[in-house]
A and B are shown apart, each in its own frame.
Chain A
Amino acid sequence: MSLEFYWYLPTAGDGRSKAFDQLSPAKDTPNTSIRDLRRDHYTNIDYITQVARAAELTGFDGLIAPDDVAGEASWIVAGLIARDIKRPKIIAEFSPGAGSAVYFAKKSVTFQRYSGNRLGWSLATSTDAASRKALGDFITDADVPRRLEEFLIVSKGVAASTDFTFKGEFFEVLKGGFGGPLSGWNLPEISLSGETSEALEISAGYGDVHVFELGTADLASKIARLKALAASKGRTLTIALKARIFAHDDLDRAALEAKRAGFEDDAHTLTGDYDSLAEDLALLADLGVNRFQLFAPHSLETAYRIGEHVLPRIRQALKRAA
């Protein structure tokens, strides 16, 4: 069994952004008694890139640029870090409502060419109709899964063939597909999520990764059901688990940090010292989780703590078990 670890990038800022970032509403008035030469040379993206490098240097397998409407666009962030990040996968989260399936597949070919097939997609659409309308997306709740399915059919179609034709309700294409050096690249790995039977059905049929959240009720049986569903279609799925995490070498200090951030006893949050977190993650892996997607209010130091202390413990335990 192998386990993978992905880290979420703070595209909308995090506890550290206050230092320089205008995204923070509580931007401090400058301390004029200190000469400050930064002017406007730095933004959130400089910090995000450091977080991405932190995760790469400490052994994470991938990075996720979330589609957070309060922050930077995920696709731009993915592109901005791509030349600095050499090994980890880079997942861009976006909604099939954001544009045409052919165009997203086309952009992805360029990304794959430049990164050596390291781009992933995480597809999700807001469940709130008003939020969707604010994004220019007037789809009904009932149509969301159907559009997702068409998006997947079309993007997979044009990635796999040079003569792909499809006319659906939401997307269409005539003799689509990529020629010359744009052909033969992998469509990005597709992460999907959701717990409805419709969502599980689409994941089983089209997804590569299904993401659950920590705190999902009956996680083990849901994972088993999804795996069986995929198997019935002759497919296999990677199961990912998304969780907020607080780590410290001292358990009490980890708890204190969680409490300060307002996530004491939170069902979606893991809090612990390095040994206990390694144990918790191993137990979750026993339920069928193959990939952990983690984030923290202090991205940079938590990525280092997890990467330097927790990942080695888990990886060594896996080696001993093997």
Chain B
Amino acid sequence: MSIDFFWRLPTHGCSTSVRNPSLTRGDWVPLTEGNQAPGLYDGRPDGSTYIDHVAQIAKAAEISGFHGGLIPSFPMTDDPWVISSHLARETKTFRFMIAFQPGFINPVETARLTASLQRATAGRALFNIITGGGGPAQLWWGDSFAHDDRYGRTTEFLDILKGVWKEGPYSQNGKFYSVENGQLPAALAATDLPEIYFSGSSDAALQSASKHADYYLSWLEPFEQLKAKFGAVKEKTDALGRKIKCSVRVDLIARPTEEEAWADAKAGFEATAHKRSDSFKQASDSVGAARQAAFKASDAKHYDELIIGPNLWTGFSLLRGGPALGIVGSYEQCAQKLDELIALGTDSFILAGTPHLEEAYRVGEEVLPLVRGRQASLSIAAE
């Protein structure tokens, strides 16, 4: 069985170089020389907006062999529904993985939004169902539900979304959502349900994922820990008589040689010396985020204190918002790491590299062709 590779669309800017995280394409830092995309011409706005840059990345990803991209959603980011619908008509095969919190739009409306997108793109929409990190950020969104209630709500949301889409007229009387005789018009109901990726590391998350998710999605964690986590999800889902696949979301610094890759990690680390803050040290009730913060990346004095194994570095959270652990190495080494992850139960990847545009080509052209996938996993498992 083959492996799916996705890329990531950055929704709040993208650094122009992993060696200098302060320059950011997009208007999250002021547009200036060395940082003018989009859109300055001769120092003045040229009418392009951030969507023009995101379109570039999506096209690079589809051309270089990725199925599509994860489109994250946070308070400071642009919105994945708007991005997907804007790019639907100018991409050909790119699949839009919309990060979405079920509390924010009701399930019937979401079914219609998604089915319309499916129809317009011949089935290129999918979800990363996120259930929110809690804390002040959750209330910023206008959502006051507690952690485990949020997962209960996610489960009901997906019950109803699937019900009105495929079993309409559909009724359900829930604790968080209800519907009476809900359905989609025939042409929309005929489209495929989106594949559901599901993120969240707590027990409540695993419970909800087991019922509805097609893919359980995790940030990279130390391999043994990840193997145990994937094992637990697959076991729980088996017990419910379902099958679930597992996916890893991970950043790479892939270079022709390992020396160049580490040199770039080191340069990036040193460029953040003046204000080294870990993007994951924030108030939240997220179990997954706590695991990433536990690497304590911001306490390190030297980049190599953050090397936790061959080609594994926990400094990524210093370079950009997001999780700490990622892969650093030559093209062959990166492919080898991906093969190891496949051997421990990974069925799909969401990769990313900085800058997202150029690195989509690089990883697509240099790393993916070296991945041996299931063939490799047999020999690795035997070792």
Q: What residues on B are CB-neighbors of A50 within 8 Å?
A: none
Per-position 1/0 for B80-92, Cβ under 8 A of A: 0111111111100
How long is the Cα–Cα vector from A159 to B286 in the complex, in angstroms?
Answer: 28
How long is the Cα–Cα vector from A75 to B116 in the complex, in angstroms?
Answer: 10
Q: By the criterion CB–CB under 8 Å, are A138 and B142 in contact?
A: no
How long is the Cα–Cα vector from A71 to B189 in the complex, in angstroms?
Answer: 11
Size range of the interface on A? Answer: 35 or more
Which of B133-141, B223-231, B332-340, B360-368 forms contacts with chain A? Answer: B133-141
Which of B60-68, B102-110, B264-272, B323-331 forms contacts with chain A? Answer: B102-110
Q: Taking CB as reference atom, which chain A residue is nearest B123?
A: A40
In the assembled complex, the CB of B375 is this many whole angstroms from the nearest CB of chain A, namely: 35
Q: By the criterion CB–CB under 8 Å, are A73 and B179 in contact?
A: no
8 A Cβ contacts from B18-53 to A:
26-28, 49-51
Q: Does A80 contact B (CB under 8 A)?
A: yes
How long is the Cα–Cα vector from A102 to B187 in the complex, in angstroms?
Answer: 31
Q: What residues on A are CB-neighbors of B119 within 8 Å?
A: 43-45, 72
Q: What residues on B are CB-neighbors of A234 within 8 Å?
A: none
Q: Does B122 contact A (CB under 8 A)?
A: yes
Among the interface residues B75, B81, B120, B183, which one has the most CB atoms of the partner chain A within 10 A?
Answer: B120
Size range of the interface on B? Answer: 35 or more
Q: By the criterion CB–CB under 8 Å, are B142 and A107 in contact?
A: no
Q: Does A38 contact B (CB under 8 A)?
A: no
Asked whether A82 and B116 contact (CB < 8 A) given A99-B106, A100-B142, A135-B109, the answer is no
8 A Cβ contacts from B176-190 to A:
177-183, 185-188, 190
Q: By the criterion CB–CB under 8 Å, are B78 and A136 in contact?
A: no
Q: Does B79 contact A (CB under 8 A)?
A: yes
Asked whether A72 and B116 contact (CB < 8 A) given A101-B142, A174-B140, the answer is yes
In the assembled complex, the CB of B186 is this many whole angstroms from the nearest CB of chain A, namely: 7
Asked whether A114 and B51 contact (CB < 8 A) given A12-B185, A22-B187, A136-B182, the answer is yes
Q: Does A225 contact B (CB under 8 A)?
A: no
Q: What residues on A are CB-neighbors of B185 within 8 Å?
A: 12, 23, 69-71
Q: By the criterion CB–CB under 8 Å, are B120 and A23 in contact?
A: no
How long is the Cα–Cα vector from A70 to B180 in the complex, in angstroms?
Answer: 17
Return 30 A-B CB contacts under 8 Å, by A number: A21-B187, A40-B122, A45-B89, A45-B116, A45-B120, A69-B112, A70-B185, A72-B188, A76-B85, A80-B86, A83-B87, A100-B142, A100-B143, A103-B104, A103-B105, A103-B141, A110-B83, A111-B82, A114-B50, A130-B181, A133-B178, A133-B181, A134-B169, A134-B180, A135-B106, A136-B178, A173-B139, A173-B142, A175-B139, A180-B28
**A-B contacts besides A98-B106, A137-B106, A176-B141, 10 pairs, CB < 8 Å:** A43-B120, A45-B89, A75-B113, A76-B117, A100-B142, A102-B141, A134-B169, A134-B183, A173-B142, A176-B142
